[in-house]
Amino acid sequence: MLRRLVLTRGPELAVLGFLAAIPLFVTNPYALGLLTLLAIYGILLIGLDVTVGYLGQVNLSHVAFLGLGAYAAGLVVVRLHGGFTFSLAAATLVGLVFGGLLAFPALRLEGPQFALATLSFATLTATALNELEALTGGAQGLSILRPPFLGHPLSASGFFWLCLALFALVWMAMRNLLASQWGRAFEALRDSPIATDAMGVGTYRHKVAAFALGSALGGLAGGLYALNFLYLQPQSYSYDLMVILLLGVVLGGRMSLWGAFLGACLVVLLPNLLSNRLLFQVFSGLGLLLAAYSGTRGLVKKTTRPFQALAPVVAMGLLVVGGLKVQNTEDWRKAIFALMLFSVVVGLPEGVMGFAAKALSKLFHLEPPALPPAASLDEVLPARASDGSSLLRLIDLKQYFGGVKAVDGVSMNVVSGAIHGLIGPNGSGKSTLVNVVSGLYTPTSGEMTLRGRLLPTGSLMRVAGFGVARTFQNLQIFSGLSALDNVMVALRGAYRTPMPLVLLGAARGEERKAQADALALLELTGLGVDARTPAKDLTYGSQRLLEIARALARRPELLILDEPAAGLAHPDVMRLVEIIRRIASRGVTMILIEHHMDVVSELCTTVTVLDGGRVIAEGTPDEVKRHPKVIEAYLGQAPAAGAAAEA
Ligand code: ADP
Ligand code: MG
């Protein structure tokens, strides 16, 4: 217990304590200024890492939130004669609000389009700060006097301690957030946005909330920046700085608080690096050694290609040679940053922390805390009474892709408590049909009702809210998460603590409960022993079962299984049949798409057969097997009746 505490919190406390103690011994104002900046950039980069690291999006607008926060704080002080706390609160709020406003449209976009949207926002902000002269003073700049803090004027060291305390708070809050459902959701949505939505977690709203939070931290850092420099100029928040911030996050290591801290150290040191020749040479020499070491190691382990190993060495070599030749490194700053960023992106994509984490984890190996005992299944998946009434009704459903009539007028009725088989040759429209039902596609036409209520269309999220859960023919597990976390992320109604309280660490109780619940579902599917195993390391069969456990976490009324036995060996198929029986015994209605006819015969009461997007037969397994149209449809394919067809 104590060892755990020392190992997990010790390094943080040691570094913070060390930083906090420095002003007691060092009075040099320049050094103190650098330390203050370190704390401010620490907050800024933790905020940037939320989008760049955890959401995996290229965010080029963070510098704009720094600027907006700085001007918000500055204007509160100058125009409203507001105090210290008020100005910082205003800076944070402005970051939050503008971050939210940008996130709503921008996060509908992906990849390069998102990057461009954020770049436009940064440009727009810089221009506005410059041109709104009446408000901001334009290029003239804005001078402010630092208001007293709680009635006391702050000395340089006092201001530093305040910044450091805020940095420590942000660090702690972020750690709490990442250890909660929020952190799991971030990781899940990077691995599979589709499954994140289908599990009712909501990719988009998590992204928007995270972006707004990151921007709020940018705003807070901006407020501190303003109160630190006391003079604001629009050109401080330029594209140059954005590149340096990205360099900081990427070099330090994405998705890591320590990485953000290392990045902040780098950003603070960069100007000195450029003005001090010796420092520059030491740094670029170290960079060259690191590039050579990690490149060689990667080549030996065959994890990097020759280009990946060589390019950073060449880039760093250029820096070393350039450092000897060039008169004034300041003139080359952009080229230097570019070379550094390039080297890191190519040669050390996980950053210094990613690189060090493996070594450190061996050194400080920690068993994860013991899991609570599994909850009772009656609690996690309460048995439903199934009365045989109609649950899902599809009326003349059509889904066309251009000229392809994937689903062409399907009507179907699934009764409550049934295991309803859905079979048909390859390409007959089975997956498309369930994709429409589960909200992945918006149907071309037709009607879908669940218990008489119209099902929403085209939204996995909203259909999930109706009590429909599903697995995917092409696995959509959250590969980076453990088996337990895969199930935990989907648990319905398990997380009620609002985000501000989560930041304060108030979600631990519900986390423990969620672990117990998820464990019960893993045990139901025979994966209890694999709870801590990363999903990507599970066998293929176990991954398929994990998807079922995860879908059950939704406590679904209707569970759709799209070829759960595909690719499974015979013993695993038998296990699966047993598990499906157990699920059915809890009153969960299922649609089972399956190629193995013996599985279908064993489990299903009713079977619908599709061919060419149309229903060609429906009835008991025995009836459809004998149906002439079914026999005809399967001619040329593997035989429908009897033995298992191809996977
Ligand atoms: P099944 O699951 O029964 O094997 P699918 O539903 O995957 O069949 O496919 C039915 C038909 O629809 C196929 O011809 C397939 O090529 C087509 N199809 C499926 N999804 C799409 C899509 N997103 N865009 C275009 N065509 C598609
Ligand atoms: Mg399919």
Residue with CA at minimum distance from ligand 1 atom 19: 432
Does any ligand 1 atom lie closer than 6 A to the CB of residue 429?
A: yes
Half-sphere exposure of 4 (CA within 13 A, CB side): 6
Q: How far, in Å, is the centroid of ligand 1 from the Cα of 118?
A: 35
Q: What percentage of the chain carries pLDDT values higher than 70?
A: 98
Whether pLDDT at 164 is above 60: yes
Does the Cβ of 430 fall within 6 Å of ligand 1?
Answer: yes
Query: Is the C-beta atom of 401 inside 6 A of ligand 1?
Result: yes
- Ligand 1 atom 24 nearest Cα: 401
Beta bridge partners of 558: 468, 589
State mean pLDDT over 16-28.
Answer: 91
The pLDDT, as a whole number, for residue 460 is 95
pLDDT tier for residue 191 given thresholds of 50, 70 and 90: very high
Residue closest via CA to ligand 1's atom 5 equals 429
pLDDT band per the 50, 70, 90 thresholds, residue 646: very low
Q: How far, in Å, from the CA of 563 to the mean position of ligand 2?
A: 7
Tokens (6 digits) for 395: 């009326």
User: Ligand 1: which residue has its CA nearest to atom 27?
Assistant: 401
Q: Please tell me the predicted confidence (pLDDT) of residue 295.
A: 86
Residue 352 has pLDDT above 90, yes or no: no
Model confidence at 323: pLDDT above 90: no
pLDDT at 36: 96
Instruction: Report which DSSP code applies to 146.
Output: P
Give tens-digit pLDDT for 251-289: 888 888 899 999 999 889 888 888 888 888 888 898 899
pLDDT reported for residue 342:
85
Question: What length does the chain have?
Answer: 647
Q: Is the CB of 399 under 6 A from ligand 1?
A: no
Give 528 or 7, the one with higher predicted confidence: 528
Distance CA 201, CA 325 (A): 55
Q: Given this model, what pLDDT does residue 298 score?
A: 83
pLDDT digits (tens, 9 = 90+) for 86-125: 999 999 999 999 999 999 998 888 888 999 999 999 999 9
424 lines ligand 1 (CB under 6 A): yes
Least confident range from 185-194, 239-248, 357-366, 405-414: namely: 357-366
Please enumerate, as own/partner, the contacts of 73-77 that have beta carbons within 8 Å and a separation of 24 or more: 73/222, 73/223, 73/224, 73/226, 73/227, 74/142, 74/144, 74/226, 74/232, 75/135, 75/136, 75/142, 77/144, 77/145, 77/146, 77/147, 77/226, 77/227
For residues 300-316, give the mean pLDDT. 85
Q: What is the mean pLDDT of the chain?
A: 90
pLDDT at residue 586 in the model = 92
State both tokens at 427: 């390409």
178-187, 233-242, 452-461: segment of lowest average pLDDT: 233-242
Across 80-106, b (16+ Cβ under 10 Å) vs e yields eebbbeebbbbbbbbbbbbbbebbeeb
**pLDDT value of position 641:** 43
Residue nearest (by alpha carbon) to ligand 1 atom 23: 401
- Report which ligand 1 atom has the smallest distance to the Cα of 433: 6
At 360-388, the pLDDT tens digits run: 777 777 777 889 999 999 999 998 888 88
pLDDT on residue 302: 81
Check residue 642 and give its pLDDT. 41
Q: Check if the beta carbon of residue 482 is closer than 8 Å to that of residue 513.
A: no
Asked if residue 556 has its Cβ within 6 Å of ligand 1, the reply is: no
pLDDT of the residue at 643: 41
pLDDT at position 635 is 67
Q: What is the pLDDT of residues 29-44, one digit of tens each?
A: 999 999 999 999 999 9
505 token code pair: 């660490």
pLDDT single digits (tens) 383-421: 888 888 999 999 999 999 998 999 999 999 999 999 999
Lowest mean pLDDT among 98-102, 354-358, 459-463, 550-554: 354-358
Answer whether residue 639 shows pLDDT above 80: no
* Ligand number nearest to the C-alpha of 436: 1
pLDDT of 116 reads 93
- Whether 428 is in the pocket of ligand 1, judged by its Cβ within 6 Å, is yes
Averaged over 243-247, what is the pLDDT?
90
Which residue in 368, 369, 370, 371 sits closest to 522, CA to CA?
371
431-469 pLDDT, tens digit each:
999 999 999 999 999 999 999 999 999 999 999 999 999
Averaged pLDDT for residues 138-144 = 87
pLDDT at 596: 86
- The whole-number pLDDT of residue 554 equals 95
**425 CA closest ligand 1 atom index:** 3
260 in contact with ligand 1, CB cutoff 6 A: no
- Determine the pLDDT at residue 90: 97
If one compares 500 and 338, the residue with the highest pLDDT of the two is: 500
pLDDT at position 150, please?
A: 86
Give the number of the atom of ligand 1 that is nearest the alpha carbon of residue 435.
6
CA angle 461, 462, 463 (to 5 degrees): 95
Which residue, among 46, 33, 9, has the nearest Cα to 166 in the 3D structure?
46
Q: For residues 340 and 316, what is the distance between their CA atoms, to the nearest angstrom?
A: 7
Decide: helix, strand or coil at residue 515.
Answer: helix
